Every structure is written in structure tokens, then in C-alpha cells.
Amino acid sequence: MATNPGQPRVAWGITLFVLIVGAFMSILDTSIVNIAIPKLESVFSVTTDQVQWVVTIYLLALGVVVPASSYLGDRFGYHRIYIFSLVLFTIGSALSGLSWNLTALIVFRVIQAIGGGLIMPVTMAMIYRIVPRDRIGTAMGFWGLALIVAPAIGPTLGGYLVEYVNWRYIFYVNVPIGIIGVLLALRYVPPFPVIHRGDFDLPGFLMVAAGLFGLLLVFSEGQSWGWTSEASILVLMASLWALVWFVVWELGRAHPLLDLRVFKYDSFTVANLLTVIITIGMYSGIFYVPLFLQTVAGFGALKTGLIMMPAALASAFMMPISGRLYDRIGARPLALVGLSLLAITTYLLHNLTINTPIPTIILWLVLRGFGMGMSMMPITTGGMSAVPGHEVGSASAVNNILQRVGGSFGLAVMTALLTNRQAVHAQAMAATITPTANGYAVWNQVHALFAQLGFGVVPTTQLTTTELYGLVQEQSFVLAMGDIFVVAALVTAVGVFVALFLKTYRTHNGERAMSMGD
């Protein structure tokens, strides 16, 4: 039933299922396209840097549109905005599949992203308005399946479609799902009251849009531009300046575009800090393990996706369970256990080498999946529980923004660290090997070095200088990835300490109270 005055009485379980369809489709498209980059490069006869904009522009447009979601939901009704976003996303998907060149694809991806960017914050806000607070953990546990499972399924599904069907179907697959989602929303998503919040805050929107666009652009392109290049520094400084002025501007308005006062609720602030931490931990596995499997182990996209699949299933299994446990014991115990498991298993991944058995890798990833499934949604739900019902729209938008910025920031920092550590390891390894006068490496030195490091590929014959250089680069890459996982584990371990300050609030007879478990 509805939980706020003026809200309709609804069978929230059916509505939740409909909202999950839209959320899953939106998140799926952030990862399914990555696997098609080499194919698109070949089809459109463009460079890797050019085709990468198919992914980058989607993330940038997502970040820009999210701040407006709260205002649009209140002004036009969340039911209408949800259907509008599904329609726009579906149209953008169909047009993307019809693209005749790279420019057309990039333009259509913007249309797709505007719809996709609205879906996640709008669905979260609707869930908090229709689900009773004593069942919100269960509801968010099921809704969170989209956040965990979709990014893991994306590469597998995308790899299959690109390899065995046609690259255009990575976009066409959204069309029937989108149409079904719209029809279900028209039937089962209840109308929401329109709330007049004054005129649209255009100056605020331009400031936050420019700030987030620039920030996400630097995080996406900084590696190719150079982190200390003039372009990176100028865009970063301009973005931060725009965001600072946005904060000042919004705090001075009676009806802000994005009500940043939600940070006055301590548990909400703690939960969003944890969201950034867990996002960094999650992406370290989702991004770098497939990179290892494809570039070092030499597996194809489909096989890599299948190796990653059990972890997604583990998260899917754990999400609803953690949601039910949240309703009984609150967020803090689940966050502590889940983050601890995530930190430990992330650290184990630093042992990855080319001779690590696949079952061992799958086991580590599955345990990580349990940790993410146990912690992510209870943390988000615990933070949102501190926010009164009339402010959940802004809180939802803020949460989604921090997830996207946190994920992009984490990947940017980790990739820069990966590059730096690879160069350090390569230099150290090369210094221990002395080439002979005729251009061949001394075999016993190479053999001893790689045997000591525990790699499976140990040269059994003399290598040319070129062959040796390639082998050194590959093994230094593996060592650098190990460093990445150690750093990600340490960051996640910090989250265990932060989780001690997470509280859960209940609503009883219209009054908020702290959970006994916290």
C-alpha cells in the first residue's frame, strides 16, 4: 500500500517488478556496448579513440540528466516521467541499431542516455513512495538486482550477439523489452501527485550539468589526454568551479533543483560515502578481471563473460536475502559483513597469474558477489531510510550522481595507477636481465626471474630481444593488476570502519525512529 499522504493504494509487488524491468534495461546498456568496441571500429573504419565515444557520451549524458530527475518527477508526476524515459530510451535504442556511421550512433546514444539517466533515480524515488517502510529492505533487495546483475550479464550477452548474431542487436534487444515495459507501466504503475516546486532552476541546472559533464569527461579521457596535460587540468578546474558555485547557488534557494540539504542526515551522508567505496571495489573486479582474462589469458569475450556469470548469480541470490535481513536487523550488520567479505576477496585477486586455475578465479568472484549482494542495497536503503518521504526525490538523484561519479573516478584513478605500476615493474624486471652480444637474452636469468614470480609462462628456449620485451610487458601488467587489487581492498577495508556509523531508521505511525539493531 502507499506510505505517503495522497499516494494511491497499490499492489506494490507488481509495481516493483515493472520498475525493475526499466532499471535493468538502463544499467545493462552501460556495459553491453563495451564488448562491441573492436567490431564498431572495424565496421565504421574509425580509430579506437573515436569509437570509444560511443561509450563515453552515454556516461556523460547520464550524469548530466540525473540532477533534473527530482524536479521533473515532482512537476509532471513520477508515473509520467518513468513512461517518458522508457519511451525515449527505447527510441534511442532502435535508432542506435539503425546507425549508418559513427556520428549518427553517437547522437542516438545521447537520446538513449537521456531516457536511461532518468530511469534509475525515478524508479528509486517511486519505490520509496509506494513501499511500506517496514518492507523497504525487501523491495530494494529485488530492485538492486539491476545494479549488480546487469553489468555482469552485459559483456556475456554483448559478446554472444556480436560474435554470433549482429552488433546491431546489442541495441535492438532493448526495443521489445522497452515496449513491454511501457505497456506494463501504463497498467501497473500508479499515478503520482504533481508537486509544484516553483520554476525550473535553469542556472542551477546549467552549473551542475557543466560540472558533471566536465568531471566525467576528465575521468574518461584523462588517461589518453595525460593527467597533467593542459586540457585535463583546465577541464577539471572548470568543472570543480562550476560544482562549487552550484552548491552555493542551491543552498541559497527556497526551491532548489537538487536539495543538497539531504546531507544533513548523518546516515544518508555515511551511506553515500560507502556507496562510492563499494562502487570502487565492485568495478575493480568487473572491469579488471575481464581485462586480465582477455588480454593475458587470451580468452574470448563470450568465455570471459561466462567466467564472470557465477559472480552475478551469487549477487542475484544474495540481494533478496539481504533485503529481508535488512527489514529485521537493519543495515549495519549486513554492511560490516558484506564489506569485509568484499575486501578480503578483492585482496585475494592480487594473486592472479596466468596459471591461476579458472575454478579458483570463479570461487573468488563468487565470494565477492556474495559480499556485494550483502552490502550494496542495505547501505543504500539504510541511508535513504534517514530521509523523510518528501525529500526522497532529491536523495535518490544525489545517490545516483555519486554512484556514477564515484565509479568513473575510481576507474580513472585505478587505470592511472595500473599504468604507473606497470612501468615500474617493467623497469625493475628489465634491469635484472642482461642481453648477450648477439641479441639473445640469457636464458637462465629469464627462467629464474619468471619462475620466482610464479608465472605459468616460463621461457624454455632463448628469446630474442623483441620476444623478451613482450613477455616482460605482459608479466609487468599482471603484477600491476595485483597492485590495483591491493589498493581496492584497502579502500574497501576503510569502508568497514565507516560502516560502523551507519544507522537504520524506521517509520512508526508517521514518526521516524532509529532501529534497535543500530
Same domain for 151 and 208, yes or no, is: no
- Domain-located, residue 60: yes
Same domain for 148 and 187, yes or no, is: yes
> Which of 138, 171, 201 is the endpoint of a domain?
201
Reported as a single tens digit per residue, the pLDDT across 314-334 is: 888 888 888 888 888 888 899
Same domain for 183 and 208, yes or no, is: no
Same domain for 119 and 187, yes or no, is: yes
| Close Cβ partners of 197 (under 8 Å, ≥ 6 residues apart) | 71, 74, 75, 255
Is the pLDDT score of 108 beyond 80?
A: yes
> Which of 211, 230, 252 is the endpoint of a domain?
252
Q: Of the candidates 476, 434, 442, 448, which has an alpha carbon nearest to the alpha carbon of residue 461? A: 442
Question: Rounded distance, CA 154 to CA 162, Å?
Answer: 12
Same domain for 34 and 164, yes or no, is: yes
Same domain for 228 and 123, yes or no, is: no
Same domain for 86 and 229, yes or no, is: no
Same domain for 28 and 171, yes or no, is: yes
Backbone angles phi, psi at 99, to 5 degrees: -55, 135
Same domain for 97 and 242, yes or no, is: no
Same domain for 7 and 149, yes or no, is: yes
* CATH at residue 38: 1.20.1250.20
Same domain for 63 and 197, yes or no, is: yes
Question: Rounded distance, CA 281 to CA 289, Å?
Answer: 12
Q: Which of 20-24, 234-238, 381-385, 443-447 shows the lowest per-residue confidence on average (mean pLDDT)?
A: 443-447
- pLDDT, average across residues 189-217: 85
- Domain-located, residue 139: yes
Per-range mean pLDDT, top range of 6-10, 47-51, 286-290, 485-489:
485-489
Q: Percent of the chain scored above 70 by pLDDT? A: 86
Is the pLDDT score of 483 beyond 70?
A: yes
- Domain-located, residue 489: no
- Domain-located, residue 78: yes
**Cβ density class 60-92: b for 16+ within 10 Å, e for less:** bbbbbbbbbbbbbbbbebbbbbbbbbbbbbbbb
Reported as a single tens digit per residue, the pLDDT across 51-107 is: 778 877 887 888 888 888 888 888 888 889 999 999 999 999 999 999 999 899 999
* Predicted model pTM: 0.77
- Domain-located, residue 308: no
Give the pLDDT confidence score for residue 517 in this predicted structure: 47
Give the pLDDT confidence score for residue 179 in this predicted structure: 93
- Domain-located, residue 216: yes
> Which of 252, 274, 289 is the endpoint of a domain?
252
- Domain-located, residue 384: no
Q: Percent of the chain scored above 90 by pLDDT? A: 17
- Domain-located, residue 180: yes
Q: What residue numbers bound the domain in which 427 lies?
A: 422-480
Same domain for 63 and 91, yes or no, is: yes
Is 61:114 a contact under the CB 8 Å cutoff?
Answer: yes
Give me the number of domains the chain comprises. Answer: 3
